Structure 1
């Protein structure tokens, strides 16, 4: 059963008569207990997609979709009050930079307890007890003494653990982790990822991991969605997508991993840049950069098609027989 269903999601910014589509016709589903990785270069629409789904872009972007459903509830028709009962409780998000995600004016204990008060109605000693349990759950040492600490008194790794504690406080059904290790050193990154996977398994949460790190995706995700210029260009299972990518952009991403260029004079790269607001091609958005481009690619926009849990947005997909 699908916990999250997104069909034909679009997010547009700018003037109504000439909008810029940061997300363009996106389809995505997430099952209960599934880990889905979303990869793609900066600006591809990964974070905007999740913020639009959560209703965090009201007043900033224009959002439309054929279907936006979570746990059987239609998010498109929910009022702001009903949505607030879901976001932060059943759907929660860990943002990219823990140092800016936390409010510097309040202690970390207060910020965790605020979530518990708002969504679970806890008060008094039970409130503080639960906050302490959460600090210990995310493996913060000397948790009791850290409740009164301010964010600036914690390291980046400790701040990220506090952000995780806030995100899992209400036993969410869906946790979105947006580049959760970006600001951390390598050893702390591994600890944070191990912690997220452990929490996901123990609580049977669905987890959406937004990342640039393909190695992490290969290790923990069940499926991968590859985004380019606001579109999902490939969706496939792990390890299928790493063995036989179907989209040229996915192939280029995998080829750019430094380990794949051992012995070469230069790292493998994809020439050109992502199309911007004023230079979007009429056909496939990758066509100006694609080494396999044909006339059809330049004139006709491909749609996402597939079966068996795998899909690709390409007129001439690669490795289709091998990957599927």
Structure 2
């Protein structure tokens, strides 16, 4: 049994006939694995993970055939059971650390609250462990930072505190949602290196949500590419990036700055992601795809095994026999 099993997950807002923002997502994650979910803004990456955590509020609707983590049926959990699970076995680092931290309380208090809630630590023992956590995420002058409020921290420092809070109870799975988006380039590299070091030291699974394919290529062992709410390609790295099967994955890679030269300029993907009222009957990429054929427009392709990955395409790329 995989650590995380997701079958046919959908997230929808509005009436029952409204198109889903997450559409039939299937995903598996093994213990200790680093999996990346990539795709442009609005592809459903973050919504899928918020659904996993039970953080989709009404009028949002979540449905799935299976949503299971470490033997827990997440669809059947009560509120009290979910609170015990989140932060203890399953934790998340959000995009904006200052929004994730409570501005009214000092860093030390927030860390000690997590330790008290999930590990039963109190008093000096909790304080000592809070200090150790700040040192583990490489915060300088860690003892003084325990007394700081979130607004007194830089963006990189606040993100390190958010990571310390997430790993405090030693979760089995850490979800990192665009953890470096708001940070300077040099700080981004430090935060990613920190996350990977923690993942290796603790043996926890890491699910990295990103739109940066270069980062994903360096960090992850497997990747799920999402487009318009669907997983369009899932497979191991570096094979999937070396020979993508889905035209959308190919287009993302062709748009990387590293792919452009003086003789071969960057290629953008024409058109735009389908909206609520213009979703095609067939493949969702069909209106933008350079390789579209009649069957692509007629019916929605399933996610099927190809030579190196699973891809949602009737006419996959790079599938010649070796």
What TM-score results when the alignment is normalised by the length of structure 1?
Answer: 0.96
Q: 1:286 is matched with which residue?
A: 285
Moved more, 24-33 or 255-264: 255-264
Q: 1:22 is matched with which residue?
A: 21
Alignment of 1:7 onto 2:7: yes
For residues 6 and 124 of structure 1, the distance between their equivalents in structure 2, rounded to whole angstroms, comes to: 40
Alignment of 1:182 onto 2:191: no
**Per the alignment, in what secondary structure is the counterpart of residue 310 of structure 2?**
strand
Do the aligned partners of 1:244 and 1:322 also contact (CA within 8 Å) in 2? no
Deviation at 1:267, TM superposition (A): 2.6
Alignment of 1:64 onto 2:63: yes
For residues 250 and 146 of structure 1, the distance between their equivalents in structure 2, rounded to whole angstroms, comes to: 43
Q: 2:250 is matched with which residue?
A: 251
Q: 1:226 is matched with which residue?
A: 225
**Per the alignment, in what secondary structure is the counterpart of residue 83 of structure 2?**
helix
Structure 2 unaligned residues grouped into runs of 5+: none
Give RMSD over aligned pairs.
1.4
For residues 128 and 309 of structure 2, the distance between their equivalents in structure 1, rounded to whole angstroms, comes to: 45
Do the aligned partners of 2:307 and 2:319 also contact (CA within 8 Å) in 1? no
For residues 113 and 57 of structure 1, the distance between their equivalents in structure 2, rounded to whole angstroms, comes to: 27
Do the aligned partners of 2:239 and 2:308 also contact (CA within 8 Å) in 1? no
Q: 1:137 is matched with which residue?
A: 136
For residues 198 and 68 of structure 2, the distance between their equivalents in structure 1, rounded to whole angstroms, comes to: 24
For residues 181 and 60 of structure 2, the distance between their equivalents in structure 1, rounded to whole angstroms, comes to: 26
- After the TM superposition, list the runs of 4 or more consecutive aligned residues in structure 1 that deviate by more than 6 angstroms: none
Deviation at 1:322, TM superposition (A): 5.8
Deviation at 1:320, TM superposition (A): 2.5
Q: Go from structure 1 to structure 2 and tell me whether the alpha carbon gap of 1:162 and 1:171 turns closer, same or farther (over 3 Å shift).
A: same
Q: 1:81 is matched with which residue?
A: 80
Q: 1:31 is matched with which residue?
A: 30
Q: 2:299 is matched with which residue?
A: 300
**Per the alignment, in what secondary structure is the counterpart of residue 130 of structure 1?**
helix
Q: Mapping of 1:267-278 within 5 angstroms?
A: 267-278=266-277
Q: Mapping of 1:70-219 within 5 angstroms?
A: 70-219=69-218
Q: 1:236 is matched with which residue?
A: 235
Give the paired residue count: 322
**Per the alignment, in what secondary structure is the counterpart of residue 21 of structure 1?**
coil
What TM-score results when the alignment is normalised by the length of structure 2?
Answer: 0.97
For residues 39 and 170 of structure 2, the distance between their equivalents in structure 1, rounded to whole angstroms, comes to: 29
**Per the alignment, in what secondary structure is the counterpart of residue 11 of structure 2?**
strand
**Per the alignment, in what secondary structure is the counterpart of residue 84 of structure 1?**
helix
**Per the alignment, in what secondary structure is the counterpart of residue 20 of structure 2?**
strand
Q: Go from structure 1 to structure 2 and tell me whether the alpha carbon gap of 1:307 and 1:67 turns closer, same or farther (over 3 Å shift).
A: farther
Q: Go from structure 1 to structure 2 and tell me whether the alpha carbon gap of 1:299 and 1:307 turns closer, same or farther (over 3 Å shift).
A: closer
Deviation at 1:60, TM superposition (A): 3.7
**Per the alignment, in what secondary structure is the counterpart of residue 111 of structure 1?**
helix
